[in-house]
Each structure stands twice: as C-alpha cells, then as structure tokens.
Structure 1
Amino acid sequence: MIRSLSLCVASLALGLLTGPVAAAPIKNPIAVFSGLDKVTGRIISFDVYIDETVQFGALRVTPRTCLTQPPTEEPNTMVFAEVDEITLDSRIRRIFTGWMFAASPGLNAVEHPVYDVWLKDCVLSSDVAPPPGFKQGDYAQDPMGLIDRPDGWFPVPRRRPFVAQQQEEEEVPPDLIED
C-alpha cells in the first residue's frame, strides 16, 4: 500500500516537473519589414530573404533568422537581424544587431535619426523573386495553407456569391389602396 502510494506521488511529481511542452517555432525564409522615412513621412513595406541584404535609404537590413509560432500556440513573430548604416563618407557602420519582435516594435528599436525599421511578419512565400541558391526545403512547408495566411492564422471559408432571387409581386387588394 505504501509502495503504491509512493509510486503515485512520484509519478505526479514527475508530471508537474516536466510541465507543458512548447511547440517548436516555425523557421520562415522571408522577413517582412516596414520602414519609415522620418523626413518625408513615407512608410514602405519590403520583403527580405534570410541572409540577404536590402537597402532602405541609408540603412542595409539583413535578417539572419525569422521565426513564428505554430497556429496552436500564442502568436509570436521574431527576427534576428543586423542593420548597417552607410555613412556620408561611404563607410558601413553597424547600428543594430539583435532580435526584433513584431508584437512589440519598440522593444528593440533601430536607433536612427532619419529612418525607422521594424518587423511586420515572417512568411513562407513572397512576390519577390528568391535569391540564387535559395532552397525552400530548408524552411517550413505549408501544404494546408495554415501558416502563411494574410487573413489570419486559420483558413477562412470562401464566401458564396450572392444571387438575387426575384420575388413574385403580390396584388394589393383594392380595399387597401388609399385614394
């Protein structure tokens, strides 16, 4: 009796120690950034493949890894990126290295007097042509369309087209017509 009770307590303690298992993050090949030119007030969005560099104004943005959580987890999108500034004397100076979080763009902000850059999303596909040597197999696959959806985490049923139905006209009884 004592042996079975101690076995029960031990298994309960082991279950409490392990806790819930977190799902592995999804590795995405493309980071979607937004950039603000503080002088003109223009905001643009640009897609950057992992380990590729895109220039926005005097800044060069290079994402190194872009992660999202699976649809079953709390949404959390993050990128490890490097941002370099091209100075007036044509030198390259690193102004940011670290994690950016889409949910909290101000948490690790790029400090620059003219430009702001922040992460919007990590995606599996883009209209931008992939760089030479890009291998989609190195990244997450999404055959069901659950991960890379612009309208949310889960598929939305298609709307049925509206078809107007003709209603038959009713004759109004003569006693209801007012003169």
Structure 2
Amino acid sequence: MRAALLALLMALPAQAQTVTEGRGAALRWLDKMSGETADVELSRGQAAVWGRLTIQLDSCRFPADNATSEAWAHLTIRDSVADKAVFNGWMLASSPALSALDHPRYDVWVLRCLQS
C-alpha cells in the first residue's frame, strides 16, 4: 500500500525543484516499550546504535530554496536480533508514515537535514 502511494506521488507532475545534499541529518527514535526517545545528528555515512537498532544515514536531501520545508533521508536500519536490514530506503520528514520503519518495538523518523 505504502509503495503504491509513494509511486503515485512520484508520478504526479511536479515543478522543477533544485535539491541540495545536506552534510547530515537529525533523526529521532522511540522505544515503544519504555517510552524513551532520543535525538541524534548523523553525518552522511555515519551510523548510530540505539537499543537493538543500528541506523546508518546514507544521504539527506532538501529543497535548495527552502531548507526547512522538507527533508528526504535515505536510511539503512538493521536489527541486531534479526541480523538483517529492517529498513532500507527514503524517509520523508513531512510524511513519516508514508515510508516508515515497520518494527514492533522501535520507531525512527527524520526531523531535518543538516546544512553545511
């Protein structure tokens, strides 16, 4: 369902927009069992471990003309118990449910890109 919605949104005509690559991203995660949250800033290629998750930031992009309006981050998230990637793709700051981590215990979302 999410993939179909994302494909539909990408197929819609859009105005040409200049996109800038950020030097990193600010992310937030939630442990649904304990209610604990934490924010982290990652540089491109950097990873952070929190609980069972290892979250790696591959890329963060934002509109060049309005950096605060949107952020798209490509993340690779691994679960140490599953020993595999539980998420590998783009997350959108303005629509976290569109392409979300589907995990029974943890939630991760993008807050913004870090600018140079």
In structure 2, what is the equivalent of residue 103 of structure 1? 94
Q: 2-side partners of 1:59 and 1:72: how far apart?
A: 31
- The reply to whether residue 38 of structure 1 matches residue 29 of structure 2 is no
In structure 2, what is the equivalent of residue 64 of structure 1? 58
Q: 2-side partners of 1:106 and 1:65: how far apart?
A: 19
Count matched residues.
Answer: 103
Structure whose alpha-carbon radius of gyration is higher: 1
Q: What's the CA shift for 1:72?
A: 5.0
In structure 1, what is the equivalent of residue 16 of structure 2? 22
- The reply to whether residue 117 of structure 1 matches residue 111 of structure 2 is no
CA 71–59 in structure 1, closer or farther in 2 if over 3 Å, else same: same
Q: 2-side partners of 1:94 and 1:31: how far apart?
A: 20
> Residue deviations 1:126-166, cap 9 Å, x none?
xxxxxxxxxxxxxxx5xxxxxxxxxxxxxxxxxxxxxxxxx
In structure 2, what is the equivalent of residue 3 of structure 1? none
Q: 1-side partners of 2:84 and 2:99: how far apart?
A: 18
Higher helix share: 1
Q: 2-side partners of 1:85 and 1:73: how far apart?
A: 31
Q: 1-side partners of 2:29 and 2:78: how far apart?
A: 14
Q: 1-side partners of 2:66 and 2:79: how far apart?
A: 38
Query: Deviating runs (4+, > 4 A) in structure 1?
Result: none
Query: TM-score, normalised on structure 2?
Result: 0.80
CA contact (8 A) 2:93 2:111 kept: yes
Q: What's the CA shift for 1:74?
A: 8.8
In structure 2, what is the equivalent of residue 154 of structure 1? none
Q: Unmatched 5+ residue regions in structure 1?
A: 1-19, 125-140, 142-179
**Alignment RMSD:** 2.1
Name which structure has the greater RCO, CA cutoff 8 Å, separation 6+: 2
Q: What's the CA shift for 1:108?
A: 0.7
CA 39–96 in structure 1, closer or farther in 2 if over 3 Å, else same: same
**3-state DSSP of counterpart to 1:65:** strand
Higher strand share: 2
In structure 1, what is the equivalent of residue 11 of structure 2? none
CA contact (8 A) 1:23 1:73 kept: no
Q: Unmatched 5+ residue regions in structure 2?
A: 1-13
Identity rate, percent? 24
Q: What's the CA shift for 1:21?
A: 6.6
CA contact (8 A) 2:68 2:112 kept: no
In structure 1, what is the equivalent of residue 8 of structure 2? none
